[in-house]
Structure 1
């Protein structure tokens, strides 16, 4: 018996011989963008994208509140709520293809619940988002001092914690619904999804910002709270967005059925290759 004809020496070899060709055939049929996402060589790039994108978001969102206090109101509320919205729009456009531009723990969890994003990637994404938010708060503290608790989100004057909780949950429901909806193949609007998400963030801040600060993002609230050590009512901004996201996932199931389709998965995961290569 030649060396090529020898029986496999171990159970692992048996599995490799018996199923190797079958696994290779499955991987060959898998879309290129999906194979790229399974390649851990890109994972660091994706995590850096989430860190960098969240850093820019919190820098604009918390920074607007800091500068409004530092300049004695020269930055109006309209500017302070549209700044993070425009930042999110820009970040989705310039790096959404790398990581999916979640920028928000509840978005990562929602995509995972929909089957568009692997659960094993969620903890690292959330960690990267929280680190980016904390770095933004540190930059603001170094530049302006501990002004306005570095933009920490708290219930507005005259509003109760219960009112802030309800508003944050409802705003988060709308935000995650917008993200999941524009990512689905039913709408198929591609880069215009960035406009939809940015527009929602702006309008949410305009009508509800005075009640709760319109955070809709546990990482955005965590960064300033952590650096300024101001944890007043932080529980609202951790739990209410989560509740809103869970309801949004349920609503998405009612509206469009289960997730996991190509369009939603590409939106959640990003693709590092241009379409001309992706579809070869």
Structure 2
């Protein structure tokens, strides 16, 4: 005989299958959250947007404050702010979305089969959305003068800025691949390592290219402020550098594979040797 509890459970499952049941947290009745996978993707996108928003708001905001208020922050302070905000957001939402915050990083992970291609467009839209909202917030908050533009513009030639972006983006992705995708690394230190890499890159390339390393970081302010000078540098350079950094690390990741195979082969030969069998027989 079917109990009343079984009937209620069947009705609940039926509502979920139709898209009108409870969400995956057992909370509010909703039509949008029709499956745990959709809820999970939605949470990831929100995390990516929030993370990117605060990275752009803090990193670009400190540039504006430094210029508008007489250089009180200083260039080292700007570098430190970029590194700290990236580190903080990695530890805040990295366990939810993976803490990409960068379209080039998302594409690179997908190329190397560490992220599903089906989610790439959604991630990029979330990252660009966060950058646009942060840039719009800064424009509303401050009286942005031409000197206080918080986007990235090559200070010298486009070629020099492009080379700079490729090199520092390479280093960024190389470090990300090492600390965040390799199981042999200490995963708890990933945020610190990536944040410090950002800080060092801004120190080196900030005066040359603005040290973008991120198409969303450059595109958001450019759209909001209507300044597109040299914008192609920040679309092409980070993608090339990050793809190259990911490729090189994946190339050296498996350098110990022949050694492991040799060790396994030696262990198998020792276990199959006659002397070993005789020793086993005598022990038994």
Give the conservation status (yes or no) of the 8 Å contact 1:63–1:150. no
Deviation at 1:257, TM superposition (A): 4.3
Q: How does 1:1-280 map to 2 (within 5 A)?
A: 39-147=37-145, 148=147, 150-156=149-155, 159-257=156-254
TM-score by length of 1: 0.75
Deviation at 1:64, TM superposition (A): 1.5
Give the conservation status (yes or no) of the 8 Å contact 1:60–1:87. yes
Give the stretch that moved more between structures: 243-252 or 160-169: 243-252
Give the conservation status (yes or no) of the 8 Å contact 2:68–2:148. no
Partner of 1:14: none
Partner of 1:26: none
- Tell me which stretches of 4 or more aligned residues in structure 1 moved more than 3 Å: 147-150
Return the alpha-carbon distance in structure 1 between the equivalents of residues 120 and 69 of structure 2.
39
Return the alpha-carbon distance in structure 1 between the equivalents of residues 184 and 51 of structure 2.
25
Gaps of 5+ in 2: 1-34, 256-284
Three-state SS of the structure 1 residue aligned to 2:187 is coil
Number of residue-to-residue matches in the alignment: 220
Return the alpha-carbon distance in structure 1 between the equivalents of residues 66 and 99 of structure 2.
27
Deviation at 1:191, TM superposition (A): 2.0
Gaps of 5+ in 1: 1-36, 259-280
The alignment yields a C-alpha RMSD, in angstroms, of 1.7
Deviation at 1:186, TM superposition (A): 4.7
Deviation at 1:187, TM superposition (A): 3.4
Q: Which has the larger radius of gyration?
A: 2
Deviation at 1:149, TM superposition (A): 5.7
Return the alpha-carbon distance in structure 1 between the equivalents of residues 148 and 242 of structure 2.
27
Give the conservation status (yes or no) of the 8 Å contact 1:113–1:249. no
Give the conservation status (yes or no) of the 8 Å contact 1:106–1:217. yes
Return the alpha-carbon distance in structure 2 between the equivalents of residues 161 and 119 of structure 1.
31
TM-score by length of 2: 0.74
Three-state SS of the structure 2 residue aligned to 1:191 is helix
Return the alpha-carbon distance in structure 2 between the equivalents of residues 181 and 168 of structure 1.
20
Give the stretch that moved more between structures: 140-149 or 246-255: 140-149
Three-state SS of the structure 2 residue aligned to 1:236 is helix
